[in-house]
Amino acid sequence: MTTPQITLFAIFGAVMILMIWGKWRHDLIAFAGLMAGVLTGVVPAAEAFSGFGHPATMVVALVLVATAGLMRSGVVSLLTKFLSRPKWPVTLHIAVMGGVGAALSGFMNNIAALAILMPTDMQVARKAGRAAALTLMPLAFATILGGMLTMIGTPPNLLVSGFRQDVIGEPFRMFDFLPVGGAVAAAGLAFIALVGWRLIPRHATETPADDAEAKVRDYMAELVVPEGSSAIGKMVADLDESAEKADVAILAVRRGEMRLSGLTRAITLQQGDRLLVEAAPAALDEFRSDLRLAFPDGHGDSIPRAGGEGQSLVECVVPENARVVGHTARSLRLSSQFNTVLMGIQRRGRTIRQNLRQVRVEPGDILLLLVPEDRDEEIIANLGCLPLDGAWLTVTKENRMWLAFSLFLAAIGATTMGWITMPVALGCVTVCYVLFKILSLDEIYTHIDWPVIVLLGAMIPLGLALDTTGGSALLASGLAAITQGYPAWVALVLLMIATMTLSDVLNNNATTILAAPVGIRLAEQLNVNPDAFLMGVAVSASCAFLTPIGHQNNTLILGPGGYRFGDYWRMGLPLEVLVMAVSVPMLLIVWPL
């Protein structure tokens, strides 16, 4: 073993130990490890920051942006409407969502499948009053398992198919992976739904103190029934299901100057009616988007606000010397001067139920304002108000829903057909989202989880150094020596264990490239069919469940789930054991040696 190899293995060991210890943030540890690699010479200085431009890093960043666009346009809300059942037990929820995720992963990139379902899963968790950590990791693992169903489901399958073509002259076919991959996915999903989620550490599944203490503020607000609303022609009682899902209380209906409150539930809604509802800001927007209602424009009682431009709902507190003190919304000319609508007022913990345009603002009031998103900070400052921490909600652009979904679907289709790479496809989606005003430029940057990007950008050059220093070749030679003289299935098991272990540290693509030639050489030495070894490499390279850096899906959920580096192995280790127990017999049956 050479000095560079010893140095690199020591750096990897130190990084892994510190990350599992969890005292310092994972991005700091990874970056420190990269700097140590550069200073010791195992990572060339010219390649020190190559990981930040690596396709894997860009895919993670752009998937987060694409997910934000799907959420902003209402695609996620539509999925949630059909898939979300907050009253379902966790096991049933994981089985359904995981099954859908696995099926999607078989025919699209598994990162994209997780990108579609992750926001939905988080919204269901919020409505059910449980931590998203309980279901995000099972969902990520399910989408990884589903990638093994077809040749296009995950990059390792495509890579081993290419190796087979080089050796045998014929690649694997689309569904050659299904018998083994399907059995592994089914067994893995059953384990995740029945047992796995219970193994997630308690600290991740408990509601954070800040969230527990945060008071959800309800406001009485008006929503207009515009032309094209799905509420037209329905009785108020028919809206109960949507109201219950969004946690909204319908108080009354206003028609012209009349407030129809006596028999509210029997009223048949007409265009121009105004629904008086009581709800938190997020629930208000969800209810509005679901029924295609509109916010009032502030100029006329029954005039809906145009939904083409970006809007934000902002909660802000009124200090003693604020410009708005003593004024009403009408006297301030909020609509004409600031293009802003006063949606609700809370005063000393009590929801104001009077006509808001006639209520004079007092110090200490909490206002719910609808403001243009490109001027939100300017307007709040001009009014002399102070925005509450975390009380800034971007309004859903449901009129961009099918455009956003079509762009995303086109990118996935182009990637699946091999016309364009995933980073470029998602990059084009990002540009289109900005050009078509689905997302603003500011939202592009705020939705990227930068600590995760630093983690990937720092770890990828270290992983590449493992190959350039000869460390990976050393591991491969050692494995070949150990398996000499043993039955072929023992060599297959050891190869899969080594590949799975390596995949937990390296990118699964790099692991496949390193392990597939080893598998072919082992098959040649044992004089057996290499198909089982190539399939074994594909399965084990995909099943990286022990760390957040083993697979990009694991990385994507690290921040949103509030997980630590050492949380993954608790469910991941028994899952990897199960994968081995199911896949090895299936490989020997489907691809006999």
Whether residue 419 contacts residue 350, with contact meaning beta carbons closer than 8 Å, is answered with: no
CB atoms within 10 A of CB 24: 11
Q: Which residues are within 8 A (CB) of 402 and not within 5 positions of it... i.e. 6 or more apart?
A: none
Confidence of residue 208 (pLDDT cuts 50, 70, 90): very low
Evaluate whether 250 touches 275 at the Cβ level (below 8 Å). yes
Question: Which residue bears the tokens 């697979």?
Answer: 551
When mean pLDDT is compared across 88-97, 232-241, 301-310, 522-531, the lowest value belongs to 301-310
Stretch 487-501: mean pLDDT: 87
Give residue 308's pLDDT band: very low, low, confident or very high (50, 70, 90): low
Q: Do 361 and 334 form a contact (C-beta atoms < 8 A)?
A: no
For the chain, the helix, strand and coil percentages under 3-state DSSP, each to the nearest 5: 60, 10, 30
CA distances from 452 to 61, 376, 546, 563 (A): 9, 28, 17, 12
Q: What is the pLDDT of residues 327-360, one digit of tens each?
A: 888 888 888 888 888 888 998 888 888 777 788 9
pLDDT in tens, 24-48: 887 888 899 899 989 998 888 888 8
Contact status, residue 168 vs residue 522, Cβ threshold 8 Å? no
Written as six digits, the tokens of 77 are 């809300």
Residue 84: per-residue pLDDT:
63
42 within 8 A of 11, measured Cβ to Cβ: yes
Beta strands in 90-215 (DSSP E): none
Q: How far is CA 450 from CA 156, 208, 221, 445, 457, in A?
A: 27, 21, 36, 9, 10
- Residue 527's φ and ψ, nearest 5 degrees, are 60, 50
What is the Cα–Cα distance from 181 to 173, expressed in whole angstroms? 14
pLDDT attached to residue 211: 45
Model confidence at 578: pLDDT above 70: yes
How far is the C-alpha of 131 from the C-alpha of 484, rounded, in Å? Answer: 49
pLDDT per residue as tens digits for the range 79-115: 656 666 767 888 998 998 899 889 888 876 677 778 7
End-to-end CA distance of the chain: 34
List, for residues 509-519, the tens digit of each pLDDT value.
767 777 777 78
Most confident range, picked from 167-171, 372-376, 463-467, 579-583: 579-583
3-state secondary structure 459-471: HHHHHHHHHHCCH
Residue in 8, 154, 27 with CA at minimum distance from that of residue 548:
27
**Residue 548 three-state SS:** coil
pLDDT of residue 186: 95
Token digits of residue 256: 């012209």
Tens digits of residue pLDDT in 418-446 = 788 778 888 999 999 999 888 888 778 87
The DSSP result for 262-291, as a single string, is: TTGGGPBP-TT-EEEEEE-HHHHHHHHHHH
User: What is the band of 181 on the pLDDT scale with cuts at 50, 70, 90?
Assistant: very high
How far, in whole angstroms, is CA 306 from its chain's centroid? Answer: 30
Give 209 or 190, the one with higher predicted confidence: 190
The whole-model pTM stands at 0.68
Instruction: Outline where DSSP puts E strands in 338-484.
Output: 341-347, 350-351, 366-372, 386-394
Question: Mapping DSSP to helix (H, G, I), strand (E, B) and coil, where does residue 319 land?
Answer: coil
pLDDT at site 507: 63
DSSP state of 361: P
Q: Is the pLDDT of residue 210 over 90?
A: no
Residues with Cβ within 8 Å of residue 101, at least 6 apart in sequence: 113, 114, 117, 139, 142, 143, 146
Amino acid residing at 112: A
In angstroms, the Cα distances linking 509 to 145, 294, 512, 538, 546 are: 16, 47, 5, 10, 17
Q: Which residue has the higher pLDDT, 422 or 571?
A: 571
Residue 122 has a pLDDT of 82
* 3-state SS class at 366: strand
Q: Would you place residue 214 in the very low, low, confident or very high pLDDT band (cuts 50, 70, 90)?
A: very low
C-alpha 20/C-alpha 568 separation (Å) is: 10
- Taken in order of first residue, the domains within the chain and their CATH numbers are 10-206+451-590 (no CATH), 311-394 (3.30.70.1450)
- Tell how far CA 379 is from the center of its chain: 32
Identity of the highest mean pLDDT range in 96-110, 226-240, 511-525, 569-583: 569-583
Q: Are the C-beta atoms of 278 and 251 separated by less than 8 Å? A: yes
- The mean predicted confidence, pLDDT, of the chain is 82
* Residues counted in the chain: 593
The percent of residues above 90 in pLDDT, for the chain, comes to 14
What φ, ψ does residue 337 adopt, rounded to 5°?
Answer: -90, -35
pLDDT digits (tens, 9 = 90+) for 382-410: 888 888 876 677 777 777 888 888 998 88
Residue 209 confidence (pLDDT): 38
User: pLDDT-derived band of residue 68, with 50, 70 and 90 as boundaries?
Assistant: confident
pLDDT for res 229: 87
The secondary structure element, H or E, covering residue 314 is strand 311-317
Q: Amino acid identity, residue 329?
A: A
